[in-house]
Amino acid sequence: MAGETVLVVGGAGYIGSHTCLDLANKGYRPVVFDNFSNGHREFVRWGPAEEGDIRDRARLDEVLAKHKPAAILHFAALIEVGESVKDPVSFYENNVIGTLTLLSAAQAAGINAFVFSSTCATYGLPQSVPLDETHRQVPINPYGRTKYIVEQALADYDQYRSLRSVVLRYFNAAGADFEGRIGEWHQPETHAIPLAIDAALGRRQGFKVFGSDYETRDGTCVRDYIHVLDLADAHVRAVEYLLKGGDSVALNLGTGTGTTVKELLGAIEEVSNRPFPVEYIGRREGDSHTLVANNDKARDVLGWVPQYDLSEIIRSAWDWHAKSNQH
């Protein structure tokens, strides 16, 4: 499949840009389509960029006709859970209406291979851990619901319109390119690892832990951190799977290993050798105490096995934030 063009929608963002890097390394031609509201022009380094919004059907048609991609990778979503509660309309307009517009353009262009960036937030509060793909999906916030609605739409497109898709449900994306070319850069930043690293670097006043009385091994929440390059590898494998005629499928992307917040902060302090203030405050509404993936299906379908552990995640993130991301 090397040499094929792949349209990477939202390819100037965190996971999208790392996927462009992996696509290029494996011989594909990534074309970034991004409105740069959250993505960064500096991250477009492995193929051409086309500026546009997924709600703009005419612009999508123009770009698809110009580049004739064999597949589409869709990362362009609003992702901040707290913002989805404050402004659900924007999330529905972008994440749902925008994706349906993109799907219509893909169908009109004859593209039937579509990889969708979804989330473990579609599961809602876990009934059992680790979570596998048969777990019920009852999202508890507008962000998770918008992703779940698109998953349902993709199932209908598969059944009635012959558009095949791979839905990838992320757990906690983390880390950065080991060469420091790109990394995590959100405005505002809400993810635990960059926030804690910024505290260690003195860029913010300490780190707040939400809840220390959960029924976990040390009272803090447990999360499954997956290196962004492992996520990128799974996306490229998903493209290859679809281009070879694979059926539609939904897959978890996580390591299967849980890390508590206390353990995470200890690991960051060890890597940085810089202690930083930590404040324990009350629980945050809607937080699950444990989110860990069962990733057996991704291994079976894509042959995907995560390569990087927590220490490599933190080391690559530390190098990126300390040396490269001064913004």
Catalytic residues: 143
- 228 closest CA partner among 287, 291, 286, 181: 181
CA distance 138 to 144: 9
In the block, which residue shows the tokens 């079976």? Answer: 300
Reading the block at residue 2, the tokens are 């090397």
Residue 21, Cβ density class (10 Å: 0-12 exposed, 13-18 middle, ≥19 buried)? buried
CB atoms within 10 A of CB 214: 19
Classify residue 211 as left (phi > 0), alpha (psi -120 to 50) or beta.
Answer: left
Where are the strands (E) in 97-238, listed by range? 113-119, 164-170, 172-174, 207-210, 222-223, 225-227
Distance, in Å, from the CA atom of 227 to the CA atom of 229, rounded to the nearest integer, reads: 5
**Inter-CA distances, 3 with 23, 45, 70, 299, 313, Å:** 10, 17, 10, 25, 30
Beta carbons within 10 angstroms of residue 19's beta carbon: 32
Identify the helix (H) or strand (E) that includes residue 290: strand 290-291
